């Protein structure tokens, strides 16, 4: 996409590149009944890595932090070094569509706000293959959180993400794809606002000024401002759901 560099410039300045927070990462991890003592974890679409660093802190494991943008991985490793966890994290720049790990490599696969780039169903299948027997998968995914959302909400969301479903729709798919669901919960609104949309709203005016004659950049920033505005208007109808599951 032509505007990717502007998207990256915006996201590099934010605490994270999508909705989420450490408390939710920890809550999801704690629903894994018996994680191995030193689990081998893959974090798909890690971005600047808030959740990868949190996983390093709570799991005592090794984390492969995978993203297709080197700039995010560099920021992640700087942050990890600052917190003393860089030895636990191995950055890997590769597309999630071209992963080259052997089947059955990982104890845990993690992906916050990124599995949809593979398509949710395809993502479940790819992750299942990468997991050891009885391994765990934890993902967040955009869902409807109330029944019968109003038409403008459905129109908006389906134009952004045509495959969006409700929580039950995702749980049915998870079970059909050979997983046992361990837990699921909706991320609080603060996960959208505190680490993502509010810092984004602070950055946007500066970037809009910097690129005032660049229509591509302005288009990207307008897209994100619309996203923030829509969330503020419609947040009771949609959200991110954390799903933690075990390979059967
Ligand atoms: C919404 S962000 C989420 C980042 C992080 N997990 C978080 O919650 O802050 C999605 C991430 O997926 C990455 N991504 C997008 N397409 C990808 C692909 N094909 N392969 C690997 N990473 C990809 C982006 O660079 C970005 O870091």
> Which domain does 131 fall in, by range?
18-188+236-247
Higher pLDDT, 177 or 2: 177
* DSSP 8-state code for residue 149: -
Tell whether 229 is covered by a domain: no
Q: Which of 116, 239, 110 is nearest to 167 (CA)?
A: 239
Query: What is the per-residue pLDDT across 87-142, written as a single tens digit (0 to 9) for each?
Result: 999 999 999 999 999 999 999 999 999 999 999 999 999 999 999 999 999 999 99
Start-to-end Cα distance in the chain: 38
Number of domains forming the structure of the chain = 1
**Residue 12, pLDDT score:** 98
User: What percent of the chain has pLDDT above 90?
Assistant: 99
CATH code of the domain covering residue 56: 3.40.50.150
Tell whether 87 is covered by a domain: yes
Which atom from ligand 1 is nearest to the alpha carbon of 97?
19
Whether 11 lines ligand 1, by a CB cut-off of 6 Å, is: no
Using DSSP's 3-state secondary structure scheme, residue 26 falls into helix
Tell whether 139 is covered by a domain: yes
Kindly give, in sequence order, each residue whose CB lies less than 8 Å from that of residue 213, ignoring residues fewer than 6 positions away: none
pLDDT at 39 over 80: yes
The structure's pTM equals: 0.98
On whether the CB atoms of residues 56 and 85 are closer than 8 A, the answer is yes
Tell whether 162 is covered by a domain: yes
CA-to-CA separations, 242 to 119, 145, 155, 189, 215, in angstroms, rounded: 16, 12, 24, 13, 36
Tell whether 151 is covered by a domain: yes
- Environment class of 29 (CB within 10 Å of its CB; exposed 0-12, middle 13-18, buried 19+): buried
pLDDT at 50 over 90: yes
Whether 43 lines ligand 1, by a CB cut-off of 6 Å, is: no
**Residue 89, pLDDT score:** 98
Query: What angle do helix axes 120-130 and 167-176 make, rounded to 10 degrees?
Result: 40
**Residue 1, pLDDT score:** 72
- Environment class of 97 (CB within 10 Å of its CB; exposed 0-12, middle 13-18, buried 19+): exposed
Task: Report, as an integer, the average pLDDT of 21-31.
Answer: 98
**Parallel/antiparallel/unpaired status of strands 131-144 and 106-112:** parallel
**Residue 2, pLDDT score:** 81
pLDDT at 53 over 80: yes
Task: State the Cα–Cα distance between residues 36 and 33, nearest whole angstrom.
Answer: 10
Whether 81 lines ligand 1, by a CB cut-off of 6 Å, is: no
Tell whether 224 is covered by a domain: no
**Residue 140, pLDDT score:** 98
Tell whether 193 is covered by a domain: no
Whether 19 lines ligand 1, by a CB cut-off of 6 Å, is: no
Query: What angle do helix axes 151-160 and 215-234 make, rounded to 10 degrees?
Result: 140
**Residue 135, pLDDT score:** 98
Whether 134 lines ligand 1, by a CB cut-off of 6 Å, is: no
Whether 239 lines ligand 1, by a CB cut-off of 6 Å, is: no
Cβ count within 10 A of residue 239: 22
Tell whether 67 is covered by a domain: yes
Top mutation candidate among 64, 99, 114 for ligand 1, by most atoms within 8 Å of CB? 114
CA-to-CA separations, 101 to 1, 16, 113, in angstroms, rounded: 27, 26, 21
Whether 95 lines ligand 1, by a CB cut-off of 6 Å, is: yes
**What's the CA-to-centroid distance between 116 and ligand 1, angstroms?**
9
What is the pLDDT of the chain when averaged over all its residues?
A: 98
* DSSP 8-state code for residue 173: H
184 φ, ψ (degrees, to nearest 5) = -150, 145
Please report, to the nearest 10 degrees, the dihedral formed by the alpha carbons of residues 222, 226, 232, 238 taken in order.
-140
């Amino acid at each position: 996409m032509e505007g990717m560099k502007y998207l990256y410039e915006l996201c590099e300045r934010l605490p994270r590149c999508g909705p989420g927070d450490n408390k939710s990462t920890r809550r999801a991890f704690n629903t894994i009944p018996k994680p191995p003592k030193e689990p081998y974890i893959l974090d798909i679409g890690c971005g600047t890595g808030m959740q990868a660093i949190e996983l390093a802190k709570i799991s005592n494991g090794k984390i492969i932090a995978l993203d297709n943008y080197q700039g995010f991985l560099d920021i992640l490793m700087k942050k990890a070094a600052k917190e003393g966890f860089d030895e636990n994290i191995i950055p890997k720049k590769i597309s999630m569509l071209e992963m080259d790990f052997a089947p059955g490599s990982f104890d845990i696969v993690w992906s916050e706000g990124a599995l949809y780039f593979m398509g949710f169903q395809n993502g479940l299948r790819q992750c299942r293959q990468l997991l050891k027997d009885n391994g765990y998968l934890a993902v967040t995914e955009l869902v409807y959180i109330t029944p019968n959302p109003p038409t403008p909400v459905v129109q908006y969301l389906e134009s952004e993400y045509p495959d969006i479903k409700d929580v039950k729709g995702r749980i049915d798919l998870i079970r059909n794809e050979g997983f046992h669901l361990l837990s699921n919960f909706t991320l609080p609104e603060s996960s959208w606002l505190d680490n993502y949309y509010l810092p984004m709203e602070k950055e946007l005016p500066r970037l809009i000024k910097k690129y005032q004659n660049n229509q591509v950049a302005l288009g990207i920033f307008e897209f994100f401002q619309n996203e923030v505005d829509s969330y503020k208007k419609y947040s009771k109808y949609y959200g991110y759901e954390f799903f933690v599951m075990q390979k059967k």
